[in-house]
A and B are shown apart, each in its own frame.
Chain A
């Protein structure tokens, strides 16, 4: 029997104070918290690099060219605004934990989901309707960038959705806020990356 459980490294039992059996909030000590923060930051740095490549491609391939009659809302300003509104909700939710307002947090994360989903649609609209040549100098790089931004928005939606679920289940709390904060950070990263792409494609 000695060997059988050898590898299981999960907590065997809920923290004694937790009401029922099942998972309980993971309270990170300072060092663990810093480690999680660092890991997430590093990962976001890695995921910023593809955007950097896209920005370079935009200038290498199309210079600063912006096609005439480019839609200013879809695939442009609308998703930008919606993603940032989502970010504001996500942070308000994450910060609500400070005052133990867990349900407020869950609700705000859910709002982020709704706004973000609409934002995703607005982001992807130019795949179907566009006024430029999709395989031209601008079109190739712009559509590729839209695809990348849509993918990351999808990922961010999944991350926030999970955080909202965990918050509702009482796993994200004042003492264990990492789940909500990391979700808000991921969301903000995505919103910021798209903002940069937007500026690069529309204004420069």
Chain B
């Protein structure tokens, strides 16, 4: 029995020392149940303590801004300890053996996991949940806008709260997460020929911050409405009722989650590469994740500190950003993060284009070095342009440099684009769903990018700022480019994730469906913006009504389209045709291992002989094969430790 554990040993080396494995208990309840229990107890205890004893307030409310902040923090700790932090982090920290039972069934997804594949799927599922929760908020917004009077929401603030919840969850739980925490955690160790990430316990715990963040933001109306949207502009944020407190707390949980992923994946890319996997050879997706992780490492702590100050502003309360400091102070430090954030979202999408296109065309990636340069320079430039979000608040002379750098960013962005175009040039692209979705993503990004360049021009920006033209622009980049790429990634890697194939007909049909609906909705946003439709308004003048009504219809169709994609993927996850080990004939290393959750990726450490993107070269990329190959259909490469 112990002999098998030997090869797993290397994946888990910590200062906590070794631990012991205990046979799974068949009747064990998944630790999330314990987490919920501990969180609830901690919340009630601490809230009572603060609001009834330590900090009683006039009229003696049971929940105050202050008490809820402390109670939430306690609940977060209770939750993290309950899902496994107690056994996996706290006890080993103090020198107790690490004992962690892992049943090999569905329950492994409902507890801390040291397997990067399980963590990846946990992240994917959670951020998909975020997508649909925030999408539901969007549907409610569109319902309201079908009539030129307040009918769906009880009051204006309720509508604006829905807008805020939508944007916040989309940005911090989906946009920032799905391609990094999700596909990044799952794929990066595999693509590097490693058996795990650098710090498995870090991502094991970080994923459980995400549902907390989503739930906190989604439940924020329980505390009161908030009207600032995802930007949380101060001093407005200090004037609303308490709901904004849950915005700060929820965003804190989600950003910590992404920050830990960034640290872990950066270390993984630097230290876990297989022999022969030099910097010249590492996959494009690894480059993308590296660039994004560096952005996350710099900017997430920055915005966390900003939001903590804003939170103190709210609960102490401080007069920060109004009497002390100015509203512009807040805008500066928000957008310093805010613009890099949009590249955090879109850079991995570029990398996905560059992974999928050469494989689907079986053609060498065009100008690979320029693709890498593009990703890296977009990352570097993204810190120089933030003030294009504040042109309306600046002097003319100050706009110029920001306008200039913003337009310059389209050059490295163009590299990513040209690499994709060059790869497809004269290639016989297989018309499979991943290809189709990447093409759609490129089309949408063209519109998103070009409107961005327009907006970088102060003359246009001063007219279009905070109208639906902006909303059109960023939905083209975020949904149009990133979400379509994420869908492409889902279909492309689905055989790797679950060993089964989706239905080509349905996938293509649904992709066309969402493509048409998407363009119908957001293409019209540009027109609405130009016709004078401002953002953040629940009831518009009658002259915008017809168009808004019809946009809402397409928006519902878009929502249904995404829902059908989800149903299709979930159905095929269990019922699709078995896909074989490498259905697309990809060269990157994730296709050289068929390990499922809980199984070792590479029983024999792979040795990489050449890069993955040259399709003129038909020689194998790995020196020693065989050990990592699938042994039987449905089975894994080498089963993990077995009990004999």
**Same assembly:** yes
| A5→B94 contact, CB < 8 A | no
Q: A59–B71 Cα gap in the complex (Å)?
A: 33
State the Cβ distance, A58 to closest chain B Cβ, in Å. Answer: 11
- Minimum CB distance partner of A138 in chain B: B324
State the Cβ distance, A189 to closest chain B Cβ, in Å. Answer: 14
| B17→A135 contact, CB < 8 A | no
| B102→A23 contact, CB < 8 A | no
Q: Within residues 13 to 46 of chain B, which ones have a CB less than 8 A from any CB in chain A?
A: 13-21, 23-24
| A24→B17 contact, CB < 8 A | yes
Q: Within residues 149 to 204 of chain A, which ones have a CB less than 8 A from any CB in chain B?
A: 161-162, 165-166, 168-169, 171-172, 176, 178-179, 182
State the Cβ distance, B58 to closest chain A Cβ, in Å. Answer: 19
* Given contacts A5-B643, A137-B324, A172 and B271 within 8 Å (CB-CB): no
State the Cβ distance, B264 to closest chain A Cβ, in Å. Answer: 8
| B103→A4 contact, CB < 8 A | yes
| B301→A7 contact, CB < 8 A | no
| B643→A2 contact, CB < 8 A | yes
A121-144 CB contact bits vs B (8 Å, 1 = yes)? 000000000000001110010001
| A23→B16 contact, CB < 8 A | yes
Q: A171–B271 Cα gap in the complex (Å)?
A: 25
In the assembled complex, which residues on chain A have CB atoms less than 8 Å from the CB atom of B94?
Answer: 161-162, 165-166
* Given contacts A6-B640, A50-B301, A176-B15, A34 and B271 within 8 Å (CB-CB): yes
Q: Which of A3, A14, A39, A172 contacts B598 (CB 8 A)?
A: A3
State the Cβ distance, B256 to closest chain A Cβ, in Å. Answer: 10
Q: Does A118 contact B (CB under 8 A)?
A: no
| A5→B17 contact, CB < 8 A | no
| A8→B102 contact, CB < 8 A | yes
Q: Does A17 contact B (CB under 8 A)?
A: no
Q: Does A68 contact B (CB under 8 A)?
A: no
| B324→A35 contact, CB < 8 A | no
Q: Which of B93, B196, B304, B316 contacts A162 (CB 8 A)?
A: B93
Q: Does B297 contact A (CB under 8 A)?
A: yes
* Given contacts A6-B599, A10-B20, A10-B21, A35 and B198 within 8 Å (CB-CB): yes
| B297→A53 contact, CB < 8 A | no
State the Cβ distance, B123 to closest chain A Cβ, in Å. Answer: 17
The segment from B305-313, B343-351, B500-508, B543-551 found at the interface with A is B305-313
In the assembled complex, which residues on chain A have CB atoms less than 8 Å from the CB atom of B639?
Answer: 2-3, 6
State the Cβ distance, A115 to closest chain B Cβ, in Å. Answer: 21
Q: Does B129 contact A (CB under 8 A)?
A: no
Q: A12–B306 Cα gap in the complex (Å)?
A: 45
In the assembled complex, which residues on chain A have CB atoms less than 8 Å from the CB atom of B304?
Answer: 50
State the Cβ distance, B186 to closest chain A Cβ, in Å. Answer: 15
| B97→A23 contact, CB < 8 A | yes
Q: Which of B9, B113, B597, B641 contacts A5 (CB 8 A)?
A: B641
| B640→A26 contact, CB < 8 A | no
| B312→A23 contact, CB < 8 A | no
* Given contacts A3-B598, A166-B95, A172-B15, A8 and B324 within 8 Å (CB-CB): no
In the assembled complex, which residues on chain A have CB atoms less than 8 Å from the CB atom of B597?
Answer: 7
Q: A122–B401 Cα gap in the complex (Å)?
A: 46
Q: Within residues 5 to 48 of chain A, which ones have a CB less than 8 A from any CB in chain B?
A: 5-15, 21-26, 28, 31-32, 34-36, 38-39, 42-43, 45-47
Q: A166–B263 Cα gap in the complex (Å)?
A: 25
State the Cβ distance, B204 to closest chain A Cβ, in Å. Answer: 10
Q: Does B98 contact A (CB under 8 A)?
A: yes
| B13→A57 contact, CB < 8 A | no
- Minimum CB distance partner of B117 in chain A: A7
Q: Does B118 contact A (CB under 8 A)?
A: yes
| B271→A38 contact, CB < 8 A | yes
Q: Which of A10, A53, A54 contacts B100 (CB 8 A)?
A: A10
Most chain A beta-carbon neighbours within 10 Å: one of B18, B264, B301, B319: B18
Most chain B beta-carbon neighbours within 10 Å: one of A10, A61, A171: A10
Q: A109–B512 Cα gap in the complex (Å)?
A: 63
| B263→A7 contact, CB < 8 A | no
State the Cβ distance, A72 to closest chain B Cβ, in Å. Answer: 24
Q: A140–B322 Cα gap in the complex (Å)?
A: 12
* Given contacts A7-B108, A7-B113, A42 and B96 within 8 Å (CB-CB): no
* Given contacts A26-B16, A39-B199, A53 and B21 within 8 Å (CB-CB): no
* Given contacts A34-B271, A47-B301, A49-B302, A12 and B1 within 8 Å (CB-CB): yes
Q: Given A11-B19, A32-B13, A166-B93, 6 more contacts at CB 8 Å?
A: A5-B643, A10-B100, A23-B16, A42-B297, A52-B302, A137-B324
The contact sample of 5 A-B pairs, CB cut-off 8 A, is A1-B644, A11-B20, A23-B17, A32-B13, A60-B329
Q: Top 5 nearest A-B pairs by Cβ distance?
A: A11-B18, A23-B17, A6-B598, A7-B598, A49-B301
